[in-house]
Amino acid sequence: MHKELKTYYYFCNSHSMNRQQVVGKEYILYTKVKKIECEQEYFRKLTNEWGNRANADCKNSLGCTSDLNSYETFEAADNEFKKIEKRYSDTSKYIVKVLDF
Domain total in the chain: 1
Q: What is the pLDDT of residues 9-49, one digit of tens each?
A: 999 999 998 767 777 889 999 999 999 999 999 999 999 99
Q: What is d(CA 10, CA 27) in angstroms, rounded to the nearest whole number?
A: 21
Residue range(s) defining the domain that contains residue 67: 5-98
Where would I find the beta strands (DSSP E) of 41-93? 67-71
Mean pLDDT of the region 73-87: 97
The model's pTM is: 0.86
- Angle ∠(26,27,29) on CA atoms, nearest 5: 140
